Amino acid sequence: MDATLSGAVRALLVELFVEELPPKSLRKLGEAWGEALREGLRARALCEAEAGLEIYASPRRLAARVGAVRAQAPDRPVSHKLMPVAVGLDAQGQPSAALLKKLAALGFEASAAAGLRRVVEGKSELLYLDTVQPGATLATGLQQALEEAVARLPIPKMMRYQLADGWTSVDFVRPAHGLVALHGSEVVPVALLGLQAGRCTHGHRFEAASEMLELASATDYERVLAEQGAVIASFDIRRAEIERQLAEAAHREGLRPVQDDALLEEVTALVERPHVLTCRFEEEFLAVPQECLILTMKANQKYFPLLDAGGRLTNRFLVVSNVRPADPSGVIGGNERVVRPRLADAKFFFDQDRKRTLASRLPELGRVVYHGQLGTQGERVQRVRAIARAIGQQLGGLVLADLAEEAATLAKADLLTDMVGEFPELQGIMGAYYARHDGLREAVADAIEDHYKPRFAGDALPRGEVGLVVALADKLETLAGLFGIGQLPTGEKDPFALRRHALGVVRMLVERALPLAVPALVHEAFAAFPAGHGAAQAEVLRFLDDRLAGWLREQGSSAREVEAVLALRPDVWAGLPARLAAVRAFAALPEAPALAAANKRVGNILRKSDDAPTTDVDPTRLVEPAERALWVALAEAGPRAQAARAAGDLTASLCELAALKAPVDAFFDAVMVNAEDAALRANRLALLRALHTAMNQVADLSRLAG
């Protein structure tokens, strides 16, 4: 390294200039590049762990600036443990052959033996050699850090390309054409992917002031790119600028853009100099369902549709251009011409699909394979239909059962429409439109759309009872079918989204307080399959229990609270929030820790008892004052807790048990449960069983014990 850099602490900029990077991965690539670079420097003591890090990522560059990077790492004392003194030195105290060989292996001359240090460790005396290891230079350390950073980038698929010599090939996410490495104002002599580091980079492909931009120092990077290169280098600043321009352009029209973070991230990764323009399309296309138009504009063209105050689509949309021409009419006209055929296709699909009813498409489902081991979509529809009818009958009798069966029968028919064939994301949504066109009842149309819900974490639940029933049936059929053929999720792999299906079942049962027994639901789902398919029912129940416990913890309940409530294995989950609230209130009482510990002690005593289980207490055999006092307290608190529970006030029910703390403590202090007299012992065990039963009606309170 240049002598002028010795000891310098300055900002370090590294930029890799490449061909267009995958837009959906750009943010992750930029963050991984910067973090790996800083970590590589820190590992070599070239910067501190808290060194500032600025990350830059645009369609054609990955860059990072690390603050306060040393030109050379500090020297480091190193202590080498060699061997026992008895082995390393002879009787005259001279180095043995073994010691000289060890020193040579470490790269030291024989003269180093004169500076050895003796250390007593336990019963042995050992030889140590103390040296100073020179700190790594920035050139050496950065070279290693860069190679590690490239290896650690989250790139699922590499490209192999040839370098300029025509012979050498390298692998990277996209071909790289430039490398900048500046420590302050000095170039660090490193190389990567066949490129030698320099101080020149490139700006915007069309609007930069010159083809090559020279950087005077690491701190000039974003200013030079912005002023001379027409590039906003920071991903976050560029994203914020796009958001600002979108909001401003929409406000001028008195409208608002569709909110879509994923689209905003992708567009940010596609442009270097964003310029938002307003475009229009023909109003006749608004006759097509807005979901179709919005999807085609977002997915195919990366446009931002504009909505009115009521959330209805208008015939205007926003384009984020990568150029800023003096006259934008050409860019606007070009985008309007591009979107027109897409919208025309959507209108054509919609018009064609409505020429046939959903019901007329049902026979064709029998020719669509659902799964090689589970038959066709037609067979699947029959299973969902049977499950939905059974659930509907339980929840709302014949009327709900009929509506649920009708919706379940038609729910998959839109899979055969042209619109869903083009846009699979619209399944269910288009089915609802076509159902209304066919004159079906609104509840059935809503259920066809909603039976896929919730589709992701935080998604809305189905709106009505019919939708809830069909959604439950659809998800339970999926779980039963795939568990039945052994297609269980493993580790991070869940190709059939069974965790999402199970979480949907959990949310619907709990959030909508459905009075349905989970084991019966799972049994009903397996009953829809041929005989012999039901061996996995217990696995499905365990899977649902696991999802339930995890979801309850995510909602804010502690692990102990969840464990206490689920330990009773309630079949109906509708009352779980009330139980958890009651347990939380009980746990806050000063008496709670002692009662929970006592409950755990009672449970252990009862489990170890060989006496016949009974809660029938004979008051005449209560000979000790402490056991009589506990019996009286239980006789008073138990009915009060039962009455509060019957009235639906689970919190009050548990809080009534606080009165038992003193008599329970006194009982264990003064009474020997396992008395030698068998009758006395049996009576005391019956008293403890009665206590245990009274305390664990809402939850297993022993799970709250420390």
pLDDT in tens, 417-471: 999 999 999 999 999 999 999 999 999 999 999 999 999 888 999 999 999 999 9
Residues near 72 by beta carbon (within 8 Å), at least 6 away in sequence: 1, 5, 6, 7, 135, 136, 137, 138
Range(s) for CATH 1.10.730 in the chain?
Answer: 578-704
Report the CATH fold assignment for 3-73+137-227: Alpha-Beta Plaits (3.30.70)
Per-residue pLDDT reduced to its tens digit, 480-510: 999 999 999 988 889 999 999 999 999 999 9
Is 578-704 in CATH node 1.10.10?
Answer: no
Range 647-661 burial, b when 16+ CB lie within 10 A, else e: eebbbbbbbbbbbbb
Mean pLDDT by 10 residues, the chain (706 residues): 55 97 95 96 92 96 96 87 88 88 88 86 88 88 95 90 87 95 96 96 95 95 96 97 97 96 97 97 96 94 96 97 94 96 96 97 95 95 97 96 98 97 95 97 97 93 97 98 92 90 97 96 95 86 96 95 95 95 92 89 85 80 90 92 92 90 90 86 89 91 86
CATH class in words for 363-555: mainly alpha
CA atoms of 357 and 364, how far apart (whole Å): 13
Edge-to-edge strand ranges of the sheet holding 61-70: 53-58, 61-70, 9-18, 176-183, 186-187
Range(s) for CATH 3.30.70 in the chain?
Answer: 3-73+137-227
CA atoms of 572 and 556, how far apart (whole Å): 21
Range(s) for CATH 1.10.3210 in the chain?
Answer: 363-555
CA atoms of 328 and 333, how far apart (whole Å): 9
H-type alpha helices, 259-357 = 261-268, 290-301, 329-353
